[in-house]
Structure 1
Amino acid sequence: MTRIDAKFAQLKADGKKAFVAYVMAGDPDYGTSLEIVKGLPGAGVDIIELGLPFTDPMADGPTIQLAGQRALDGGMTLQKTLDLATAFRKTDDETPIVLMGYYNPIYNRGVDKFLVDAKAAGIDGLIVVDLPPEEDEELCIPAQAAGLNFIRLATPTTDDKRLPKVMQNTSGFVYYVSITGITGAAEAEAEDVAPDVVRIQAAGNLPVVVGFGINTPAKAEAIAGVADGAVVGSAIVSRIGKGEPVAEVLGFVKSLADGAHRA
């Protein structure tokens, strides 16, 4: 059982929904980023989604693209991202970390080396948005063999014919993208999301967490109310990009987490 599996089991026992927070590793700089990540569990975050900076983030809107650019400009790399996770693990051995990014940096490092290093750094799961199920032999299956969850995205265009393929080697949870488009492009609506969440839950024995388009505590509560949890990224990253003090960023995160936990 991974930390992700254990977290969802605990939340289910407590009758709570999950709150997942996304931040870009190294944004706006390594030290501030580590301070924010260390503060997330205390702000109510159940699972940390840690962005891996990449030059061509095709699924991300301007807010997260700019965060990645700030991190890259500051010298952030895959190794430094793993170093950040390692530093976090010195004081927190329970909160799951999902590394979210693109395949190029992993391929460049070498899959076998990457998986050994990610496991050693305390990474629990991977979201690699540009590797479809047809490429499972490339990373997904080796990752699961190494004890890491491989979390797949489902979208409003994932129909009943495609869904079994998407679910095939997915573990940890399913990340449901609430809108068609990039991060930060539109707002999620609970009534639109609910039927697809039910459909995905019925297709496999995994929690379904909804992300994209969630930017307020009320929205987090509404979306978590029809799913197993909610993810917020751009709304948090935007505040980091504006240079808000860490305490204010974490205060905003806590308001979102409280919203999701009220569901």
Structure 2
Amino acid sequence: MSKIKDYFEKKTVQSVFVPFFTLGDPDYKASVEYGKAILESGADILELGIPFSDPVADGPVIQRAVARSLKNSFSFDQIFATTKAIHDHRPEKPLVYLTYFNPIYHCGIPNFLDKAKVSGIEGLVIPDLPFDTEESKILFSELRKRDMDLIHLVTPATPKKRIQSMKKTSSGFIYYVTSFGVTGERREFSIDLEDRIKFLKKNLELPICAGFGISTPEQASQIAHYADGIIIGSAIQRIIEENGENVSKCADVLREYSKSIRGSFS
């Protein structure tokens, strides 16, 4: 059983909190401190972004974070060392990479997965990897050998037939994209969001975590009533952008998100 699956089965809250930030922003030393602070501020699962030069699924806030990160010296050794330092702080909490397929392919799939696993990574989110390709099947097979998860994204435009087919190579949880377009903070969501999430949960038999655009504690609280997890990325990345190495500011805001997600069920 994967650590993520075990975490969801044993969770004592209705909805888990899944924050995201880009490794190396503003630098790798600060990333370790941000990771530790986020884990201490109520995060259940932490999603870490590997900086990549062509982040096609990311909006302007995260694109700027990636650009800042890539100004630092990049190496996979630095990525894995930073990840492990974050993991070792709270090893009971699963870590997930959000990355594109090119870095994994460049590093070599088995080599990348072995080093990621040792660093504390329990699953991968890969926005540019279609679920039904030969690469996806190979990756899923290699992940299963290591009890790691391939976390697929589902969007409002994903056909129902395609959703059914995802069962073959999906594990851990499903990352549900709450709205069309790239990542970024939004004011409103579709009126049928709850129905879509319930449909996915019934048909894929996996926890559904909602992300892309959830930017306020109030929005997080509302969606937490029917989603198994709430993913917050751009809102956190904006705080890092505005405060640099002032980790305490980020921790204060994260605690508000955590309280809002859990407070809906107290």
Q: TM-score, normalised by structure 1?
A: 0.95
The answer to whether structure 1 residue 124 and structure 2 residue 122 are counterparts is yes
Equivalence for 1:255: 256
Contact 2:55 2:63 in 1 (8 A): yes
The answer to whether structure 1 residue 240 and structure 2 residue 254 are counterparts is no
Percent sequence identity over matched residues?
Answer: 35
Contact 2:55 2:100 in 1 (8 A): yes
RMSD: 1.5
**Greater CA drift, 185-194 or 74-83:** 185-194
1:100 & 1:139 partners in 2: Cα distance? Answer: 15
Matches within 5 A, 1:55-66: 55-66=53-64
Equivalence for 2:32: 34
Matches within 5 A, 1:127-138: 127-135=125-133, 136-138=136-138
2:180 & 2:206 partners in 1: Cα distance? Answer: 22
Secondary structure in structure 2 of the residue aligned to 1:231:
strand
Secondary structure in structure 2 of the residue aligned to 1:124:
strand
Contact 1:188 1:212 in 2 (8 A): no
Matches within 5 A, 1:214-225: 214-225=214-225
Contact 2:13 2:262 in 1 (8 A): no
1:188 & 1:199 partners in 2: Cα distance? Answer: 20
What is the CA distance between 1:262 and its match in structure 2? Answer: 2.1
What is the CA distance between 1:35 and its match in structure 2? Answer: 0.1
Partner deviation per Cα, 1:158-215 (whole Å, 9 max, x = no partner): 1212111223211000010000100006345274310110110111221001001111
Question: Taking structure 1 as reference, are residues 187 and 82 closer, same or farther at Cα in structure 2, changes over 3 Å only?
Answer: farther
**Greater CA drift, 156-165 or 169-178:** 156-165
1:256 & 1:83 partners in 2: Cα distance? Answer: 28
Equivalence for 1:2: 2
Equivalence for 1:109: 107
**Greater CA drift, 28-37 or 163-172:** 163-172
What is the CA distance between 1:88 and its match in structure 2? Answer: 1.8
What is the CA distance between 1:71 and its match in structure 2? Answer: 0.8
Residue identity opposite 1:8 in structure 2: F
Q: TM-score, normalised by structure 2?
A: 0.94
Residue identity opposite 1:9 in structure 2: E
Secondary structure in structure 1 of the residue aligned to 2:53:
coil
The answer to whether structure 1 residue 90 and structure 2 residue 91 are counterparts is no
Where does structure 1 differ by over 6 angstroms across 4 or more consecutive aligned residues?
A: none
For structure 1, which runs of at least 5 residues remain unmatched after alignment? none
1:59 & 1:72 partners in 2: Cα distance? Answer: 17
For structure 2, which runs of at least 5 residues remain unmatched after alignment? none
Say which of 70, 74, 93 aligns to 2:72.
74
Matches within 5 A, 1:79-228: 79-135=77-133, 136-184=136-184, 186-189=186-189, 191-228=191-228
